[in-house]
Structure 1
Amino acid sequence: MSPPRKRKAPSPTPLVEPARRESLRSGLLTWYDRQKRDLPWRRTRDPYAIWLSEVMLQQTQVATVIPYWERFLQRFPTVEALATAPLPDVLAGWRGLGYYSRARNLHRAAQELVARFGGRLPSTAAELLTLPGFGRYTAGAVASIAFGEPAPLVDGNVARVLSRLFEVEGPPGDRAREARLWELATALVPGERPGDFNQALMEHGATVCRPENPLCLLCPVREQCLAYRNGRVDELPPAKVRAAPKRMTLAVAVWAHEGRLLLARRAEKGLFGGLWELPAAEVEDDTPDPASAVKLAEALGAEVRVQGHLGTVRRQLTHRSLSLRLLRVTGHPHPTRAPAFQELRWCTPDEASSLGMSTAMHKALEAAVTAGALRG
């Protein structure tokens, strides 16, 4: 008697039905070819230039990025040029873009690319993920756009598009929701022109499938959109609940000597890491001058005496409400090195303004000079 035949295991149901998948890919690619914005990084095949654009575009609007991207490439035209540049020069080229950890990671990654890959970006998302600053999104973007690998990506725009197309529930940051979005992105990207398809998803989210007032009547795939079909476009995704910005006050030492001001470069980690500043120490809002002087003395490793106030500069950062209290100080001896900083320099205002300095501290420098920091 012959043994019973084994039944074939049923094929797993695809995450996205093939007909729907092809309709979505075709519709978005055709729309992208006709409607995409003419952005400078879309006119190059240089992986380094594409990588730079993706890093700059994180948390930053396209219109802001374009001039920075062009100037940065002029100053550091290759991976090798970036890798061999001093970090303060790289941070100076980044000034005004914020989120300076992006620039520090860019610099570290360039050095690793020279050391490990001969100055060339590897062509796979898996290898890119081994470099500083490369998360899943950036690796997928560079691998697909620069090298044509069918690597998925999910950013805020893509998450919104996929949430509406597939009626994905859950608030931003929810683990189950994020996993579902990456599964959908992975299912959709294989096929022709994966890099263009990923860009089509991002472009669609930026210009049509917007957070507010989405242009559904202009959407090339609205017939495939479950949220549109069910009248839930305004519900998905739900708005992200943002924490109130933390208040942060810095006592800033405005120390003048023979027409120069004392500048300090921070350690490379933390807020404003690696950047130059008028030496500062975090204090409470109501910290009196003598206590502020003690904090600054500890940071500088030198006696500090407060002689007066030169004003307060306030800046609103994404996660912080920043107050910079400008204190005219003096002391003895004039420090040339300090325990809390990587480097000290005595600079004229013109020399100081050319250093890698945050926008907030640059405003503080301008305010101090205007208030007469170098007079008297």
Structure 2
Amino acid sequence: MPYQYPDATASRRITELDIERRALWAGLICSIFGLAAGLIFFAGERPALFGRWSVGLVSAICGATAAASSSAYAFRFILRHREPWLRRIPTWRQLITAIGLILVHAASSVMIILVLFHLFQQAFLGLRLDVLAGGLAVSAVTGLTAYLCLVATARTSAETLSVVLGIFMAAGVLISMLLAEDQGWWRSMFSFLGTSQAGHGSFWTFNLTLIISGLVLAAFTEFLTRDLVLLSRTYRCRPALRRYRLARRLRPRPRIVRWCLVVVATAIVGIGMVPVNVSTQVHSGFVQMASVAMIILLAGTAVLLPGYPAVFHMMSMAAVAAVWAAFILWHDWSYYNLTGFELSVVAIMFSWISVFIRTTAAMTRDGEERNQARLAEESQLPAKS
């Protein structure tokens, strides 16, 4: 059954001012919650900025709670009204999308808060706060986190979600590298960071980053598919290609693109849930599944995404060639080890995905502008008598 997305006018319009107003209320309520939590946790204590039951730890806990709550509220009562097509997809897909958005904002908040307070502790060595100062610090961090996460969730699009995904994955992997107890982890493989031998901090950070990233990629796929469906409705074969029968039969294939990305998202979740030391075969199977799906996307853009600029298809072919060259450098020439090959492939894939998203967003905006211009012209035409 084809995808069906209703027009935005089918639901009550939520303005930008509504988002800001609700975000301010969320920030105020969560700041009060953070103040109460800080006063309770720090009663009779002089907490440090970072460490066990420090201002940073309590702020991270309260910030994660505020981020999850505000993101859930924004998805349920704002985003689903701003993007009415979300209400038409199956409930289980709505749930996966919501879970991905909630988890990525909560996890990002925890990482940012802990890193910032760790840096502050290094800058103000030996500083301890009293109960009031500690409570106010937690209150400020919690309120700001709630405000930012509600705004970010309410204004989610394929383009913004791709940026969130890229930053979150890079930050999570970098932190897991820094937390690795074995400093020579890179001599083995990239997946070593997700094993218990790398240390508990690296193990949990790396695997949770992959699991949450897979869920976010699944949520991102919904928004990207919606843009591709809109493009497929307005697709017209280029005049220069109409003389070719094969070109006239080509149409954008949002469903195939979606399933390829869903397979990649599922594989990323599987890689995080089954570390290489638990089952090498299952872990490798998920890696191969993601690789095959991405190769299909890269090699099939001319068939799956007709109408895109020729330079985009050339870049897709160049990405396939770059992956093959990276494999030759590792397997045949031993230029670098397996970790170098894995990092090269990840960099190539995410670079292509970033270009794909930005190109799709640009084409969607251009299509919307053309539709608005056409409607404006039609409204100015004199009515027939």
- The two structures have a TM-score, normalised by structure 1, of 0.23
Higher helix share: 2
Select the structure that is richer in strand: 1
Structure showing greater Rg: 1
Q: TM-score, normalised by structure 2?
A: 0.22
